[in-house]
Amino acid sequence: MSTFDTHLDSWAAYQATAWGRIRYRVVAETLERTCRSLGDGPLRVLDVGGGDGGDAGPLVAVGHDVTVVDPSAALLAQAVAAGDGSPGNLRVVEATLDELPTMGLGRFDLVVCHNLLQYLPDTAAAVATLADTVRPSGALSLMSPNPPAEVLAAAIRRSDLGAATDLLTAPVIRSETFEHDMRRIDADEAAAALATASFTDVTRYGIRCVTDFLASDERKAEPAFYAQLESLELALCDREPYVRTARFWQLVARRP
Ligand SMILES: C[S@@+](CC[C@H](N)C(=O)[O-])C[C@H]1O[C@@H](n2cnc3c(N)ncnc32)[C@H](O)[C@@H]1O
């Protein structure tokens, strides 16, 4: 059983927080924009490491056909339950990224790989595998924690200047949710992997540009404050310079 299967409760608790909800809300917006740019009608979407369908759900809800690939049977069962009754089709496949080339799933209009790369050993190898699942002129969306945000959050939010200094050069950081080390991947490393795989037209989004620098978690849970924060995050997610220091980078790129 993997570390993801043994932390289902902490994962669900994270998703229910104000900052968890904002992460999924903003990504639903950026993926909706990406889908619109790919054409009319239901799209074929693949979500690799899609877990319990947090990103797949809004896509299925508007009628897209989404395949979620993930090695966790427990998370996939939650994805199926959440997608029940949606207009689009949700299919789940219990497998890892490495198994994709042997699975014959075909090519997809949009491939999503969010918050998985940091748990894998090699960004370029993972992106090369993902690239083969994207149809010509299709899109690939990658997302991972943004290392500069970890430095800023330690200094600003926690006033822990020692941790902030250490985080300037630390190659890994511990995931609190999964109690597991994560490689610290910056957006430039992911962009280089996309370029090597011949992807172009890279759009960078910032997911949670300000939320993680606000000290009071209690205020974030207040409905009126939450609503304002969510709408500010939606306004900032595609704006320079805020995307540079957001909690997560998201890169959406096109296959030629
Ligand atoms: C942090 S969760 C992210 C889930 C989802 N993408 C999201 O952002 O809500 C990481 C997910 O990757 C899955 N995973 C772990 N190793 C994997 C691998 N080698 N290939 C595919 N998925 C993997 C886990 O089971 C888990 O669902």
Which atom from ligand 1 is nearest to the alpha carbon of 75?
27
- pLDDT tens for residues 151-169? 999 999 999 999 999 999 9
Separation of 126 CA from ligand 1 center, angstroms?
13
Determine if ligand 1 sits within 6 Å of the CB of residue 117: no
Q: What residues does each domain of the chain span?
A: 5-254
Residue 24 backbone phi and psi in degrees, to 5:
-70, -35
Nearest CA to ligand 1 atom 12: 49
Q: How is residue 189 written in tokens?
A: 């490393």
Residue 47 CA, closest ligand 1 atom number: 6
pLDDT of residue 233: 98
Paired tokens of 14: 């994270």
- Confirm or reject: Cβ of 115 under 6 Å from ligand 1: yes
Distance 224 CA to ligand 1 centre (A): 32
In angstroms, rounded to a whole number, what is the distance separating the alpha carbons of residues 166 and 253? 32
Could you write out the three-class secondary structure of 163-220? HHHHHCCCCEEEECCCCEEEECCCHHHHHHHHHHCCCEEEEEEEECCCHHHCCCHHHH
pLDDT (tens digit per residue) in 99-155: 999 999 999 999 999 999 999 999 999 999 999 999 999 999 999 999 999 999 999
In angstroms, the Cα distances linking 10 to 7, 13, 70, 224 are 5, 5, 18, 26
CA 48 – ligand 1 centroid, Å: 7
Cα four-point dihedral sign 1, 145, 194, 199: positive
Q: What does the pLDDT read at residue 1?
A: 62
Tell me the two tokens of residue 66: 């989404």
Provide the pLDDT for residue 201: 98
Angle at 184 between CA 181 and CA 189, to 5 degrees: 145
Q: Fold for 5-254, please state it.
A: Rossmann fold (3.40.50)
Q: How far apart are the first and last CA of the chain?
A: 39
The minimum-distance atom of ligand 1 relative to the CA of 70 is 22
At 6 the pLDDT is 85
Identify the H or E element spanning 143: strand 134-145
Let me know: does 237 contact 208? Beta carbons within 8 Å.
no
User: Which pLDDT belongs to residue 180?
Assistant: 87
57 CB less than 6 Å from ligand 1?
Answer: no
CB 116 less than 6 A from any atom of ligand 1: yes
Peptide bond between residue 241 and the one before it cis (omega within 30 degrees of 0): yes
Give every residue of the chain whose pLDDT is below 50, as ranges.
none
